[in-house]
Amino acid sequence: MAPRGPFQVVEVNLGKIFADSATGKMEPSDSYERICGTVPAGLRAAGDMGLDADEDYVYFKVVGGDVGKNMDLTNPVYSQYVQPGTNHAIPFGPRGLSGGPTGLRSMNLKTGEVKTVVDVPFMIGHVQTNPWVPREIVFCWETTGKAPQRVWTVMADGTGLRPVFPEAVFDWVTHEAVITKDEVAIAILAHRHPGLPPDAPWGNLVSTGEHPSGVGIVNLRTHEMRIIGQVPIGDPGHSIWHVNGSADGRWAAADDFQFRLWVIDRHTGEMLLLASMTRIVKTGMPADHIHPTFSADGTKIEIQSAMLSPNGHSLNIVVVPMPRSWIARNYGDHAPE
């Protein structure tokens, strides 16, 4: 099948859209758009994209074209995952979506110039940038489930490619998020019961709760990781699922498999159930996630919810405020007398 294209990066002027919408005088759609550049012929852009901290470059996933032709398959950082004699990863998982090669490319938003960042032998997903550190990229190995090594980082010039959190075979890591200038939050799942059959999808020892799990915070500079919270043992939510954190380092947030929102005080380790969408699950809403994200000032959390929809099904963007008592907290190194 011939590749679709050409693919372009388009800037949309939301300020003008909102202003014209408020006055009821909308213009043709192209009056709100600027074409920043066109992806070279043969490359297929897949939609995963991150904007650099300086807002002068975007980084995006590509397939086809010259992707993988110059990849160093002897690089020990991923050579263990490569099928001998090929340039793609060893097939992994029941859905067979782990292979590559795929690549990251950058585009200069002023000139439209496209450059290679890196090519890897697996399927790239979740391309994001560090909002505080220019040219720093975080992405994942996408399998739609567990990956052999989920979270990766690389600089825009292709240097520094490495796993963010080196995984054990029993770790199921997902939904990484850059939360501070030095930190990435990850979810280490524990949503399956021990004693799975040997032929269980994704492996029978993965995400069973027999090993450490929960909200992990990884320091990009020191490479250290700390687990700071997990739903209680026996809780119907089974495990945290999607994670985030406030930019000031005070809070972390996570949802679980019962569509509930938890918040964690990173100073004290206290974990609080902040909101619940369980009613929606009981009324037949299909499995989806509320996927929390903190506001820039750390006082609010944005989630997805169907609780405001008349049909109890359509998802809306909803803002949940942090507890005022938590925001007012002061911390010391000693317990109060």
What is the tens place of the pLDDT at every residue in 18-31?
999 999 999 999 99
pLDDT digits (tens, 9 = 90+) for 256-278: 998 899 999 999 999 999 998 87
pTM of the model: 0.93
Q: What is the mean pLDDT of residues 168-186?
A: 97
Question: pLDDT-derived band of residue 286, with 50, 70 and 90 as boundaries?
Answer: low
Is 50 exceeded by the pLDDT of residue 186?
A: yes
Query: How confident is the model at residue 2, as a pLDDT?
Result: 46
pLDDT digits (tens, 9 = 90+) for 82-124: 888 888 998 888 888 778 899 999 999 999 999 999 999 999 9
- Closest by CA to 120, choosing from 89, 95, 96, is 89
Domains and CATH numbers, the chain: 1-11+31-163 (2.130.10.10), 167-330 (2.130.10.10)
CA distances from 296 to 170, 175, 180 (A): 34, 19, 10
